[in-house]
Amino acid sequence: MIIDVLTLSPEVFESFMKNGIVSRAIDKDILRIRLHNIRDYARNKHNQVDDYAFGGGPGMVMKPEPLYNSISEVLKLGNPCPIVYFTPQGRVLNQNIVKRYNQKERLILLCGQYKEIDQRIRDMLITDEISVGDYVLSGGELPAMTFIDAVTRLIDGVLGDIQSAQTDSHHQILLGAPQYTRPAVFMKNKVPEVLISGNHKEIEKWRHQQSLNITKERRPDLYYAK
């Protein structure tokens, strides 16, 4: 998979790309991330990428020209592909969205900053708008990294055991069951007996029931949608 990231802060991705599963995927040549600085496409005297909003009001808006230029040039680097913009106005990211994008060979991610980006770019070029929650961040870089991490861990060959991802919370709608490891007794707290019984059928039954209980308590919207 190739992911082209358009951002005003490419440096914030450097540590992200050198650690964890993203680094592993890059090292295995399963994933390639190309960073593009939107400011390089401003093509004006001061490389200006923002301006005041028509109609007044607080905050600055990212100008259409640098965004159009950068997206157009990056599109030329490969086959046509989805262009995802991260914004609080987008649909909320979930595992179904992640699984759909996991099947793509190439993606372009646009990280906005300031108040917003010019609406005409959204109308002309953006194919999907995604939010990572009902709150506002200072830019699209953190949402983009969240999105990349979620998509990458589902790529074949990235995780040592793909079943680990397939039993995570949200993968099958329900939240995940509690997990325990050694020692079997920690500060007088014991691991549930069923987990050390060796009875795999009963273990799966217990885990499923725990998932149901936790989902019903914490995310009734998911529980009743299952």
- Supply the pLDDT for residue 225: 82
CATH 1.10.1270.20 at 169-223, yes or no: yes
Query: Per-domain residue ranges for the chain?
Result: 2-152, 169-223
Look at residue 168 and tell me whether its pLDDT is greater than 70: no
Q: What is the pLDDT of residues 128-155, one digit of tens each?
A: 999 999 999 999 999 999 999 999 999 9
Choice between 33 and 222, residue whose per-residue pLDDT is larger: 33
Look at residue 162 and tell me whether its pLDDT is greater than 60: no
For residue 52, the SS3 value is: strand
Split at pLDDT 50, 70, 90, the class of 213 is very high
Sort 195 into a burial class: Cβ within 10 Å, 0-12 / 13-18 / 19+. Answer: middle
Phi-psi region of 188 (alpha: psi -120 to 50; beta: other; left: phi over 0): left
- Per the prediction, the chain carries an average pLDDT of 93
122 backbone dihedrals φ, ψ, rounded to 5°:
-65, -40
- First-to-last CA distance in the chain? 31
- Supply the pLDDT for residue 139: 97
Q: What is the pLDDT of residues 70-116, one digit of tens each?
A: 999 999 999 999 999 999 999 999 999 999 999 999 999 999 999 99
Domain 2-152 belongs to what topology?
Alpha/beta knot (3.40.1280)
Helix/strand number for the chain, H first, E second: 9, 10
Side-chain-side CA neighbours of 107 within 13 Å: the count stands at 23
Question: CA–CA separation, 113 vs 204, rounded Å?
Answer: 46
Token pair 């939107």 in the structure block, residue = 38
Look at residue 161 and tell me whether its pLDDT is greater than 80: no
